[in-house]
Chain A
Amino acid sequence: MKKIFYLFTVLVILASCNKLNIQPNSIIQNNDIYSTPAGIQAYMADLYSYLPIEDFKYSTQASGSEGDGGFNQFSFIQNLNMFTGEEVNREVNSEGNASDNTRYWASAYTLIRNATIFINTLPQYKSNYTTAQVNAWLGEARFLRAYTYFALVKRYGGVPLITDVAEPDKLQLPRNSEQEIWDYVCNELTEAINLLPATSENRGRANKYIAAGILSRVGLYAGSIAKYNTIAKADPATGKRVLGIPNTEAVRYFKLSYNAALTVASGPYSLYRAVPDKAQNFYNLFFDVSAANKEVLMFKEYSLSNVVHSFDVFAIPTQMQGPNGYSSYMNPTLDWVELFEGLPRNPDGTLKTVDASTGKFAYYDTPADFFKNAEPRLLGSVLVPGATFKNQAIDVRRGIYTGDISNGIAPFSGSLPPYPVVTNPYPASAGISAATNKNGDPAVTLPDGSKLQSGGASGEFSSRDQGTITGFHQRKFLNESYTASQVLINGCTQPWVELRYAEVELNRAEAALELSALGDGGADYKQDALTMINDIRDRAGATLLTDVGALSDINVVRNERRKELGFENKIFWDIKRWRTADIEINNRVWFVLNPIYVAANGKYIMDKRKYEGNSIFTFNVNQYYEAIPTVEIGKDPKLIDNSY
């Protein structure tokens, strides 16, 4: 019996009488977060991860089920630049309604809620920190919240303005007026400028000047809406104007923008001029995260295995494609390239591809020769045909001219205008062996007996599954340090430049010119604008403007933006706020430049023509405001839609 008793006693001792109140280890509480700077950094990391930065991973085609509404997408080959005429790719056709599909909403309010929780909670823990620390973090949270409202208002106009932590049962809210939102954003950014320190706690985080730089962007946007927008819509229930701002507000907003830009200028920032070669310098500025780069105010950075993008996989010229396949999706249009100086031009300013004396095609030793005098900023932004990248010449060729050249080569039939609507742009009579596809391309036997594929290794081909479709590739942001095997899906980590001083200068110049045009006498705006633009043109390697007389047309500063900020997902919003998108992109088919090899003399001719895929781009007036997600309208009966 004793034995039995002992044995059972041992078993009973094994019983610990489990406690059932077990907190999971991976769920932490406020105290864990707010008591240490590391905890606050982890909180900030979440806020920033939701920040609506339109980076490499921003897509216009987000499906409604994805909470981030266009942000943090994998499939970003349809970026904003595809809808402005900056670039085209073979998979984006005739879709001008880019802004209708992101449905960015719920994740904006997620960031707004979480920033507000932070603002409400941090003061309870302020005894752990200096006042400066607390202010800096409060300013940072307010900056992030304002940035997010900016992302909403530029899409939708007035949205519900929620400034406290919302409860699920008190959420059927009407929209505030558009102006209320702009004012809120401007005020919050102004507060943030006052609270934030001059230098960021970590690279990638906000500081005083970043907040000011964003305010210069916001003020310019709001001012432009006030000045150029003609759309008005009021909520009948509240009487608030949910779309549009009165014209009278324009000066106030432009001034906010101008003054914010002055604030940035008082800081340590300047244009990047680290490398003597101006093209290389312009290219490098997007990669240099060192302290030497005084131009970039705000990078968004990536880290392998943790947060990555795949830009190179899609942008890389086909001849350098990585193991995952894909290539040549980012093709700058000839329209955009033609904005730059230094290209052969006719007296009327149009692109010149023929010899003026003969009217026949001009010959170039390589396609790159066509661009030998081009503005360095263009060559820093675009890989022209024949350009050297990663020690290789970008091999782009639409075909081989096999005909007789004794009388020169006359412009091909079907050339400008009108344009055919067929996939092979060259008739048989043109004497061109046109490239078909990468794998089954016909080879041409050259006079010296050697063989040459009709198309280049990176295009262009009539089958639209490989190669460039315009003759160009994007160089800006494309990482030249990656070997072919590093060009991997989810393998790219070069940073995104969200805000740089060049934009602030352009904001300042534009705001100045608008203020000048509106008759504001606060400063010598035109001279200031001239200084800004010439600073940029000097760095770009472009010719400087001589005097303020050159600034009589607002398009001078606008085109400077297009050139300077191309491919940075900014121009889309510019042409929207200028309210010029519907005119600019009205039934547009963009132009391409086809280099054609001439078999007889081994030289190239350059043929300008419309994109043979014939994708027609259109932007309708009713796309200036994006549609409020229908699912949200369904859940909130007080939310009126954006039809107008």
Chain B
Amino acid sequence: MYKNFTVISCRLSSCNFSKIALVMKLTGIILMTVILQVSASTYAQKITLHVKNAALQDILLDIQQQSGYDFLYSSDLLKSAKPITLSVTDAAVKEVIEECLKDQPFSYFINKQIVTIKPKDRLVQAPAVPINITGSVTDTKGEPLPGVNVLEKGTQNGTVTTANGNYSLKVTDANAVLVFSFVGFTTQEIKVGAQTAINVQLKETVNALTEMVVVGYGVQKKVSLTGAVSSITGAQVTTTRNESVLNMLTGKLPGVRVVQNSAEPGAFSNSFDIRGMGSPLVVIDGVPRPGIERLDPNDIESISVLKDASAAVYGVQAANGVILVTTKKGKAGTSQITYTVDAGLQHQSGLQTVLDATDYMTLINEKTRHNVNNPTTPLIYSPENFADFAPGGSKQSTDWYHAVFRQTAPQSEHNLSASGGTDKVTYFMSLGYLTQQGFYLSGASNYHKYNMRSNVSAQVAKGLTADLQLAYISDTRNQPSTDPSNIFGDVFRNPPIYSPYAGDAGNHYSYFGDNGVNAVAYSDPDASGYRTSNQKLLQTTFALNYNVPFIPGLKAKGLYSYNNTFIDSKNYNRQFDTYQAKPDGTYSIVSQQSPTSIVRNYSNAPTTLLQYSLNYVRTFNQVHNIDVLALYEEGTSQGDGFGGTRYVAISTLDQFGAGGNVGARLQTPSGGFPSSSATRSMVGKIHYDFKSKYLVDLGGRRDGSSRFAPSNQYGFFPAASAAWRLSEENFIKNAKSLSFIDNLKIRASYGSTGDASALNYQFISGYDYPGQNGNQQTRAQGYVFDGNYITDVGFRVIPNVDITWYKAKTLDFGVDAEFWHGLFGFTFDYFNRNRTGLLGTQVLSVPGTLGASLPQVNINSDQTRGLELELTHRNTIGKVHYELTGNISYTRTKNLHVDRAVAGNSYDNWLNNVNNRYNDVWFGYTGDGRFNNFGDIYNATVNYGGGNRATLPGDYKYLDWNGDGTINIGTTAGQSDAHPVAATYNGTNVGGTSTANPPLINFGLNMAVQYASFDMNALFQGAAAKWIAFNDFSLNPLQFNGNALSYFLDRWHPADPNANFYDPHTVYIAGTHAVTGTSPDVNSTYNIQNASYVRLKTLELGYTLPGNLTKKAGIQRLRIYLSGYNLFTVTGVKYFDPEHPSSNYTNSYPLSKTYNIGANVTF
């Protein structure tokens, strides 16, 4: 809705007529000044007016404010108006207007709510031989533009376009030039020539001065913002084509970090945060809701990001910032149907292939011989084995990679929307469908999503509108029965010397013991079953908006929202047989996944939100602008779920109800304890500015939540911010040398927010039932009595009644500037967020003899600081209009206090005391070159273990950091030679491997170019100051008894495979990797790689077909485009995509490169 504010609104700003007239004169455009108010807000239909000898202009303003009617006129024209004396009460709008204009020296007409005032006599002075021109005016998206001034240049002959954007004008002759102008759009002149039909497309002027942005509980002019708020429009979102909205934001919003972890259909696996602050609150259409990633991007009007104290109005949910998503609404006076279609082809990005049989056997033999205690141990694979796999040999090597995966997978998306409205009702309705296929050859992985939305707003009584927003997203995700990490792991593990199928048995999957399970079988749902998950999101809002009579500017609002997320999943683990050939030619059968099990889970999570607010917006004395909001909000959220497992005897039946249970294997229900929580909050906001020059915002929220102990239920989160627009000061305005400055603002904000997401009822005594901290594999949540499993009670931590949310205090300094009408602009921010009261346990100080778990206490603190810079450049050269937007942000978090026991010694303190240290310091070992030959080894001054007895040429040397002559390499930091070697270590080890935080530096550069009917959009996006480490298959060849990734073939090895590896006369061939069997330490600089990268995230080329061509087919506008995602990447990371998650570096579903073709059609 706010988008309609892109023209000056008298209601909201300090505009005054004469100033605007002046501005317009300066632009050199002669006549028409438009004061247009097309807010969809509704107004009284009755006018009360008591004036005496008042200027018509003032009266029209009054009428406009009371009624919402808009007036189009030239200010010169009104100079001739007679003063008016009038006294009416609750009179009809039209009557009052007619009364005011009836004896004036001009004529007028009223179309819908637009009153156009024209000179009286000009209309009759039409040219003697006129040419009648007709046509339509649209914006760049093909949407009709009503109210556009169409003027014959150098005359006062003109008209305005109708609601459909059509116009008709008689001009003097063929030499006439038509001038099309509209506030917010670039004026265009077209020579009539021989044409009688002239269709015009006006380009929006992106003008920071008039742009509105959505902020917490309201909208605000961008220039009057005092906080750090970034925003993009829906159109900017959809320039990137991807299945997830989050991936479409990458690189576009300064300070928003998005990392894609997987392109698996339906996984929506992203890490994303604002300024490195953790998981942000997402508010969709004013209500905190899940599912931003699943939204149809075509439904999105805009996305705003509150990065500083401006988020404080969201209180205890806002410590990590807030993302506000607004969906589209209809526009009064328009009606259009838009169809968007997009088809794409995904390619795997950066996944590695595996060795063939010969190379595999070679590496196995090398690893066997790489044994200092038995350097002449017999080779496992004999020349006969090699001969079998040689060309023409008896056996065929298996390429497991290509046996399981396909190289490309299609995806497509459709969206059909209808929007428009009348002065009473506006609507936006859409239906979308998205389908995405995965990379398994079996087709086991795919995703389907349907989404529907209806945003309807109706004026139901005088001054009262009712809004109903309904959104429904239903999706289905299909997968093989086992995780992709298992299948990818098995592809890397299954030896190429085995066929996927045993012997000649064809459909008999082979079994090969300790070398992983058959990846072909496990990726095939016909063999191993499948997993399917349905998620349904229902998001509804009903709202009433009321313009309180008698108090201009006061609005009351009531809103009720109901949302629910239903998840319904099924996991069918089908039993199937694998076959292992025995020497005698028969097969032994090993059943997999025995017995067949079917797991069903169902859950729903309803939430409600109720809101009342009063909002008062007024300008006093044309210089004091105030906007005050008082809001009460209460919400509830519930969660309930139920799941069961059933083991069925007939493996081909994939239904939960199929057959009885197998043996003693009963279904195991889980869940069934509904959770419930509630909140009550009060929000207050005051905005004041003086002439848009000095701006102040004060806000705060009192938040109450059932998640806290009764004594601690409420918290208050205030914020204040202020800005000074230097560009409004006379010393800039009046200085000719500074006339290039369009906008220059400095701003500062400070506020308090909180976060309670980690709290888990630690203030309540009692017992968990059922117990929480067990599993079948270790200590269970129960015990078996009489052969029956009895669920236990769980002992809770010792209650901490003082536990509360942590508090974050956010400081932000910023500068916004725009020069030379957009030729150069920038926004710069410095921010600092201090968090106190982070949860920690004092486990290191209380003896274990307590016999109970300690509660968390609010004890730790940290600090996140960073910088953001956004640069913009807009220009038009000839017919080429282009825009460049670049942003870069840096953020890093430092621990301030982390509770710990006093270190036993200074070394322990240095190593483990993380107080006042960045939270991402990566301890490891620095590489010190390689052993190039046996001479190097014999002359080594550092002992790498065993007196370097087992060391071979090609092995890794490490820096002896403490200089003691020995190196102890270990997989965990803490060895004596470990020292900081990199950053972005996130403090956890997964499977012995350090995992990494998102990059410290993120940047994006967006280029949009328009030339005639062609448009191009390119987004370069990247990251720096990010390190990753390989593990498992990517670090070690032949990991887990398995195969090796192809790149390990480039390794040190003896020229003669039969040589004694430890014989100093053995001739070695050098390679990138050490002799098979030696891998670098996981936390060494050999393995930690700088994962900085730049990639062409998006490239889109569009062409809009000529309107006169498409109109014949009844199509207003038709644009076709070619688009690509992740097209190319420049990075130092070897072998893998740099965005691939570090924690599970190899065997996870890869990212994709996507090539798309699509069209937007507007009817």
Residues of A within 8 A of B (CB): 3-4, 7-8, 11-12, 14-30, 32-33, 39, 41-46, 48-50, 57, 66, 68, 71-74, 105-106, 109-114, 160, 162, 166, 168, 171-173, 201-205, 289, 300-308, 321-323, 325-326, 422-424, 436-440, 443, 451-453, 462-463, 465-466, 483-486, 488, 490, 629, 631-632, 634-636, 639
Asked if B916 is at the interface (CB within 8 A of a chain A CB), the reply is no
19 contacts between A and B (CB under 8 A): A8-B544, A20-B710, A32-B769, A33-B793, A42-B782, A45-B785, A66-B778, A74-B777, A105-B849, A110-B795, A160-B849, A166-B849, A323-B517, A323-B591, A325-B513, A422-B374, A423-B373, A439-B513, A466-B514
Per-position 1/0 for B591-625, Cβ under 8 A of A: 11110000000000000001010000000000000
Q: Which of chain B's residues have a CB closer than 8 A to the CB of A443?
A: 583
Residues of B within 8 A of A (CB): 368, 373-374, 377-378, 380-382, 385, 460-461, 463-464, 466, 511, 513-514, 517, 544, 546, 556, 558-560, 575, 578, 583, 588-594, 610, 612, 634-636, 645, 664-665, 668, 673-680, 704-706, 710, 713, 761, 764-771, 774, 776-796, 798, 844-852, 854, 901, 904, 1041
Q: Is the CB of B767 within 8 A of A28?
A: yes
Q: Is the CB of B852 within 8 A of A490?
A: no
A483 to B592, CA, bound (A): 11
Q: Is the CB of A162 within 8 A of B849?
A: yes
Can you name the residue of chain B whose Cβ is closest to the Cβ of A304?
A: B665
Q: Is the CB of B850 within 8 A of A171?
A: yes
Q: Is the CB of B591 within 8 A of A68?
A: no
Which of B583, B664, B848 interacts with A632 by CB under 8 Å? Answer: B848
Given contacts A44-B785, A110-B851, 13 further A-B contacts (CB under 8 A): A4-B461, A21-B706, A42-B792, A46-B783, A71-B779, A110-B852, A112-B851, A113-B850, A323-B517, A453-B583, A484-B590, A632-B848, A636-B847
Which of B466, B594, B767, B848 interacts with A27 by CB under 8 Å? Answer: B767
A203 to B774, CA, bound (A): 22
A89 to B305, CA, bound (A): 59
Which of B558, B560, B673, B851 interacts with A26 by CB under 8 Å? Answer: B673
Q: Is the CB of B680 within 8 A of A18?
A: yes
Q: Is the CB of A171 within 8 A of B849?
A: yes
Residue of A16, A48, A203, A440 ringed by the most chain B CB atoms within 10 A: A440
Q: Which of chain A's residues have a CB closer than 8 A to the CB of B594?
A: 323, 483, 485-486, 488
Which of B466, B635, B785, B791 interacts with A205 by CB under 8 Å? Answer: B785
Min CB gap A629→B, angstroms: 7
Q: Which of chain B's residues have a CB closer than 8 A to the CB of A326?
A: 514
Q: Is the CB of A451 within 8 A of B583?
A: yes
Secondary structure at the A interface, as helix, strand, loop or mixed, is: loop
Min CB gap A64→B, angstroms: 11
Q: Is the CB of A168 within 8 A of B854?
A: yes
Q: Which of chain A's residues have a CB closer than 8 A to the CB of B767?
A: 27-29, 32-33
Q: Is the CB of B792 within 8 A of A43?
A: yes
A22 to B705, CA, bound (A): 9
A524 to B517, CA, bound (A): 62
Given A27-B769, A173-B849, CB of A485 within 8 Å of CB of B591: yes
Min CB gap B993→A, angstroms: 17
Can you name the residue of chain A whose Cβ is closest to the Cβ of B788?
A: A303
Q: Is the CB of B849 within 8 A of A3?
A: no
Q: Is the CB of B578 within 8 A of A49?
A: no
Can you name the residue of chain B whose Cβ is closest to the Cβ of A322?
A: B590
Q: Is the CB of B706 within 8 A of A22?
A: yes
Q: Is the CB of A68 within 8 A of B852?
A: no
Which of B593, B636, B704, B901 interacts with A634 by CB under 8 Å? Answer: B901
Q: Is the CB of A114 within 8 A of B851?
A: yes
Q: Is the CB of A302 within 8 A of B784?
A: yes
Q: Is the CB of B784 within 8 A of A168?
A: no
Given A110-B795, A305-B645, A485-B592, CB of A73 within 8 Å of CB of B673: no
Q: Which of chain B's residues have a CB closer than 8 A to the CB of A109?
A: 848-851
Q: Is the CB of A46 within 8 A of B771?
A: yes
Given A28-B767, A438-B513, CB of A203 within 8 Å of CB of B789: no
Q: Which of chain B's residues have a CB closer than 8 A to the CB of A484?
A: 588-591
Which of A11, A33, A44 interacts with B560 by CB under 8 Å? Answer: A11
Q: Which of chain A's residues have a CB closer than 8 A to the CB of B845?
A: 635
> Top 4 closest A-B pairs, CB basis?
A485-B591, A113-B851, A106-B848, A307-B780
Q: Is the CB of A42 within 8 A of B777?
A: no
Q: Is the CB of B381 within 8 A of A440?
A: yes
Residue of A20, A74, A632 ringed by the most chain B CB atoms within 10 A: A20
Q: Is the CB of A25 within 8 A of B461?
A: no
Min CB gap A194→B, angstroms: 23
Min CB gap B946→A, angstroms: 15
Q: Which of chain B's residues have a CB closer than 8 A to the CB of A110?
A: 795, 851-852
Q: Is the CB of B795 within 8 A of A46?
A: yes
Can you name the residue of chain A whose Cβ is closest to the Cβ of B647?
A: A304
A526 to B513, CA, bound (A): 54
Q: Is the CB of A204 within 8 A of B777?
A: no
Q: Which of chain B's residues have a CB closer than 8 A to the CB of A463?
A: 368, 380
Min CB gap B791→A, angstroms: 6
Q: Which of chain A's residues have a CB closer than 8 A to the CB of B794?
A: 46
Q: Is the CB of B851 within 8 A of A106?
A: yes
Min CB gap A438→B, angstroms: 7
A576 to B760, CA, bound (A): 45
Min CB gap A244→B, angstroms: 22
Which of B373, B677, B774, B850 interacts with A49 by CB under 8 Å? Answer: B774
A72 to B775, CA, bound (A): 10
Which of A46, A171, A465, A639 interacts with B793 by CB under 8 Å? Answer: A46
Q: Which of chain B's residues have a CB closer than 8 A to the CB of A303?
A: 664, 784, 787-789
Which of B380, B381, B575, B676 interacts with A22 by CB under 8 Å? Answer: B676
A280 to B938, CA, bound (A): 61
A8 to B543, CA, bound (A): 10
Q: Is the CB of B848 within 8 A of A306?
A: no
Can you name the residue of chain A whose Cβ is closest to the Cβ of B513?
A: A325
Given A17-B634, A48-B783, A49-B779, CB of A11 within 8 Å of CB of B612: yes
Q: Is the CB of B779 within 8 A of A72?
A: yes
Given A7-B464, A303-B784, CB of A23 within 8 Å of CB of B792: no
A41 to B768, CA, bound (A): 15
Q: Which of chain A's residues have a CB closer than 8 A to the CB of B385?
A: 440
A220 to B671, CA, bound (A): 47
Given A17-B634, A326-B514, CB of A45 within 8 Å of CB of B546: no
Q: Is the CB of A29 within 8 A of B766?
A: yes
Min CB gap B638→A, angstroms: 10
Residue of B668, B777, B781, B845 ringed by the most chain A CB atoms within 10 A: B777
Q: Which of chain A's residues have a CB closer than 8 A to the CB of B782?
A: 42, 45-46, 49, 306-307
Q: Is the CB of A308 within 8 A of B777?
A: yes
Given A11-B558, A26-B769, A29-B766, CB of A20 within 8 Å of CB of B706: yes
Q: Is the CB of B779 within 8 A of A11?
A: no
Q: Which of chain B's residues have a CB closer than 8 A to the CB of A205?
A: 785
Residue of A24, A113, A465 ringed by the most chain B CB atoms within 10 A: A24
Min CB gap B402→A, angstroms: 23
Q: Is the CB of B778 within 8 A of A73?
A: yes
Q: Which of chain A's residues have a CB closer than 8 A to the CB of B785?
A: 41, 44-45, 48, 201-205
Q: Is the CB of A307 within 8 A of B464?
A: no
Q: Which of chain B's residues have a CB closer than 8 A to the CB of A201?
A: 785
Min CB gap A343→B, angstroms: 31
Which of B377, B560, B850 interacts with A14 by CB under 8 Å? Answer: B560
Can you name the residue of chain B whose Cβ is closest to the Cβ of A165?
A: B851
Q: Which of chain A's residues have a CB closer than 8 A to the CB of B517?
A: 323
A21 to B771, CA, bound (A): 23
A466 to B791, CA, bound (A): 38
